[in-house]
Structure 1
Amino acid sequence: MIITRSPLRISLGGGGTDLPSYYRKHSGFLIAAAIDKYVYITLHQTFVQELIVKYSKLERVASVDEVQHPIIREALRLTSIDGPNLEITSMADIPAGTGLGSSGSFTTALLKALHSHKKNLVHPRDLAEQACQIELDRLGEPIGKQDQYIAAYGGLTCFQFLPNDQVEAWPLKIDTETLYNLEDNLLLFFTGYSRSASSILKEQDDKSKQSDQSMVDNLHFVKELGYQSKDALEAGNLRRFAELMNVHWEYKKQRSGTMSNPDINTWYEIAMKNGALGGKLIGAGGGGFLMFYAEDKSRLRHAMAQTSLREVRFRFDFEGTKVVIQ
C-alpha cells in the first residue's frame, strides 16, 4: 500500500496574479504558506479485474477511460497507468471548496502516489508542473498555479510566474522568531460556505483575457502588495503585514460581486473590532475561511465564538507533498 499526503495552503500576498490570463502578459508574484492540514491518497494493488476509485463517490470501472473523476482519469493517463487491479482512495482534513487549495493538493498527492507506484522519483517542480498540466491545460480550469506549487514545495515560499509559463520558487527569508509569531498570531475561521473556485475565478479570468483595464490595474496593485508583504515579513514587521492584508481584502472584493456577502462582511467587522489587526478571505472568494492576524488572540477567539464560526488551528508544513507509507 502507498499513502501520500499533500498540504493545504494559505495565501500571504499577491494572490490572483498566478492565473495564466494575467501572468502571461504581466508576470505574477505571490507568497503562499503550506499548513498542516492535508489531502491523503491511498493506492494499493488488488486481485480484482477492476479499477476502483473512492472519493465522495465510488467508481468500479474496467479501464482508465471509463473513470468519471476528471483529475483521477487524467493523472492515470499522464503517468501511463492503464491497467485494472488498482484501488485509489482520497481523504482530506478539510472539505473541498473552502479556499485552502484542496484541488491542487489532491492532484499533487495523487500524482505522487502514482509515481511511487511506478518507482519514479519526481522533483517538486515537476510534480507541480504536471498537476498544472492536468488542471489548467487538459481540463481547462480557469484557475491559478499557486495551489499546485505550494502543495508540492511546502514551507513559506515565494513564486514568480513568468510569461513563458516558467515558475521560479524560493523560500521566504523570514527569521525564526518572526516565523513563530506569525504562526501563533494567524487565526482561521470557517465561514460555513463552500464554493467552486473555478466559478468564482472565471469572471477574473475572462476580464483579464479581455484586457479589462480595471481588472488589470487591480491585479497590478495586488502584485505590488505581494512584494510589500514579502518585505514586511522579511523585516519582521508583522503589524505592517496585517495592514497589507486589509488592503488586499478591499481590492480583492472589487474583482467580483460574488467575492463576499453580508455575513462575511459582518464577521470581518466583528473581528476587526475585537483584536484583529488585519484579515482577508482565503482563496478565490465567496466562502471558505476567514484569516486574521491578531496579537490579542483570546479576545478575537471569544468574539468569533459568539458568531458560531469554527476555528481551525494550524501550524506551517515544511515537507510539501510526500510519501507517508510505501
Structure 2
Amino acid sequence: MSTPCAGSLLAPRALRTPLWRAAASAPMRVSFAGGGSDLPGVARQDGGRVVGAAIDLRIRVVVEPFDRGWVRMELAPRGCGREQPGGGSEAAEASVPRVLTRRRGDPPRDELAFRLIEATLAATGVGDGVALRVEAETSPGAGLGGSASAAVAALFALRASVGEAASPEELSREAVAIERERLGNACGAQDQVFAAFGGLLDLAFDARGCSGVRPLAIGSPGLVPALSAGLLLVDTAVRRVSGEVLDRVDAGAACEAKGELVAAAGDVARGFEIGSLALVLSGMRRGAAAKVRLSEAASAIAVSMKQRLDGIGVEVLRMCGAGGGGHLLVWAPPERHARLLDALGPCVVRRPSLGAPGVRLEPA
C-alpha cells in the first residue's frame, strides 16, 4: 500500500496551554540501503528509494502544564550501556540535563540544542504555560535519526496535551516541514517516516518528500532474526550536524550515485521478499559502496574502520545517516562478534532490535 506523506508548509497556530500531562516516544532508525536518495535535490530526478527499519532506541518527550506566561525546555540524555569484549555491560554516566526557561512571547532561543523544541512549540501553538522534556539514549548527531524522532514524539505529545490526535502521515509531514522550512536544514525525509510509522519499511521519495510508504514483504520468518543477530551499531564518539554534512555533498556526485543507491535498495527489498539473507547483505554492501562514492569525506571513518577490521569477517560496514560521524552499521555472523568486539576496544556498541513500533503514547 502506498501512503503519500510529502512535506507541506506550516500554518500559524493560535497560542495554547497544555490541558494535561502527556508523554510520547518515537523510535530511531537504521537504513539498509538507499539513504541519500531521499534528499530533495536528488529525489527530484526520477525519485528515490530507502529500505530500512525502526529500532528499539527511542526518544521520549514529556509535556505538562507549567506556570502561565512561561515556557520551560529540558534536554535530559539518559545513560546508555557499553558492550564489553566479553559481552558484559556497564552503565555510562548520564549527562547533566540542560534546562532553558523563558517568558512567553520572548523570541525563541537560537541555541542549536533547543531550536528543534522551539520549532515544535511554534508548529503546534502550545507555547504558554508549558514544560517540555526530551529524554534520549544517545546524544544528538548520532546518525540514527534522533532529531526526527524527537520532533515526531514532541509533536505527538504536544497535540495530545491539548486533546488533539494525529496520524503518522500528519506527524511525518509536519516533522519534515519543521526541519526544512522552519530550521532550514538540508535533510532527507526518511527519518521522520520511520519515527512515525515504525516497522520495516520500503519508502519512495520525490522532490517534496516521502511519496509512498510500504511495509516490507518478508518471505521467511527467520530472516529478520538472522539479520538482527549479526547487526551491530558502533558509536564513533564523533558527533555532527547532518545538515552541515549534507551541505558539503557535491550535487553532481549525489545524482551520479543515486542510481546505485536506489538499485541497492531494490536488492535489499527483493532479498526480504524472497527470504534471502545473502541478497539482503549483498544489497547492503552495494549501498555502502554507493555512499562512499556519494561523499568520500563523510565516509572517511567507515573506510578507516573497514581497514582496521579487515580479516575479522565483517560483511557490511558503512556510516549511518549523513556520515561524518555518529554510528557505524556493521554486520558480521554472530560467531565472529567476540573477535570484532575485542578489536573495537572501548567503543560503545549497540545491538539493535529491528522493526520497533512507531510513535506512541507512554504512561504519563
Q: TM-score, normalised by structure 2?
A: 0.82
Distance 1:64 1:98, change over 3 A: farther
Distance 1:100 1:286, change over 3 A: same
Please say which of residues 163-172 and 275-284 is displaced more in the overlay: 163-172
Alignment: residue pair count? 317
- Map 1:71-82; keep pairs closer than 5 Å: 71-82=116-127
**Aligned residue in 2 for 1:237:** 276
Distance 1:4 1:116 in 2: 9
**Aligned residue in 2 for 1:63:** 104
**Aligned residue in 1 for 2:235:** 190
Distance 1:166 1:291, change over 3 A: closer
SS at match of 1:306: helix
Name which of 189, 202, 226 aligns with 2:265: 226
Distance 2:105 2:270 in 1: 47
Distance 1:18 1:64 in 2: 36
Distance 1:200 1:282, change over 3 A: same
- Map 1:191-270; keep pairs closer than 5 Å: 191-204=236-249, 207-208=250-251, 212=252, 214-261=253-300, 264-270=302-308
Name which of 117, 127, 130 aligns with 2:171: 127
Shift of 1:136: 0.9
- Map 1:1-326; keep pairs closer than 5 Å: 1-47=21-67, 49-55=69-75, 57-63=98-104, 65-68=106-109, 69-83=114-128, 85-163=129-207, 165=209, 167-174=211-218, 175-204=220-249, 207-208=250-251, 212=252, 214-261=253-300, 264-295=302-333, 297-308=334-345, 309-326=347-364
Distance 1:163 1:284, change over 3 A: closer
Distance 1:165 1:249, change over 3 A: closer
Please say which of residues 125-134 and 314-323 is displaced more in the overlay: 314-323
Distance 2:221 2:197 in 1: 19
Distance 1:301 1:196, change over 3 A: farther
Paired-residue identity, %: 24
Asked whether the equivalents of residues 272 and 278 of structure 1 are also in contact (C-alpha less than 8 Å), the reply is no
SS at match of 1:276: coil
Give the structure with the larger helix fraction: 1
Asked whether the equivalents of residues 271 and 304 of structure 1 are also in contact (C-alpha less than 8 Å), the reply is no
Q: 1:195-235: CA deviations, max 9, x gaps?
A: 1111111123xx43xxx2x4312112211111111111222
Asked whether the equivalents of residues 319 and 328 of structure 2 are also in contact (C-alpha less than 8 Å), the reply is yes
SS at match of 1:259: coil
Distance 1:170 1:199, change over 3 A: same
Distance 2:355 2:268 in 1: 20
Asked whether the equivalents of residues 270 and 304 of structure 1 are also in contact (C-alpha less than 8 Å), the reply is no
Shift of 1:130: 0.4
Asked whether the equivalents of residues 191 and 290 of structure 1 are also in contact (C-alpha less than 8 Å), the reply is yes
RMSD, aligned CA: 1.9
Q: 1:285-306: CA deviations, max 9, x gaps?
A: 11221212222x2423323323
Asked whether the equivalents of residues 190 and 289 of structure 1 are also in contact (C-alpha less than 8 Å), the reply is yes
Shift of 1:100: 0.3
Q: 1:274-317: CA deviations, max 9, x gaps?
A: 1322221111111221212222x242332332332221122124
Asked whether the equivalents of residues 104 and 148 of structure 1 are also in contact (C-alpha less than 8 Å), the reply is yes
Asked whether the equivalents of residues 51 and 269 of structure 2 are also in contact (C-alpha less than 8 Å), the reply is yes
Q: 1:145-174: CA deviations, max 9, x gaps?
A: 001111100001111113454521010011
Distance 1:165 1:49, change over 3 A: closer
Structure 1, gaps ≥5 residues long: none
Please say which of residues 309-318 and 11-20 is displaced more in the overlay: 309-318
Shift of 1:270: 4.1
SS at match of 2:44: helix
Structure 2, gaps ≥5 residues long: 1-20, 76-96
Q: Give the aligned residue type for 2:281.
A: A
Distance 2:117 2:105 in 1: 9
Q: 1:236-289: CA deviations, max 9, x gaps?
A: 22122222322322221222242133x543422344521322221111111221
Shift of 1:118: 1.4
Asked whether the equivalents of residues 18 and 145 of structure 1 are also in contact (C-alpha less than 8 Å), the reply is yes
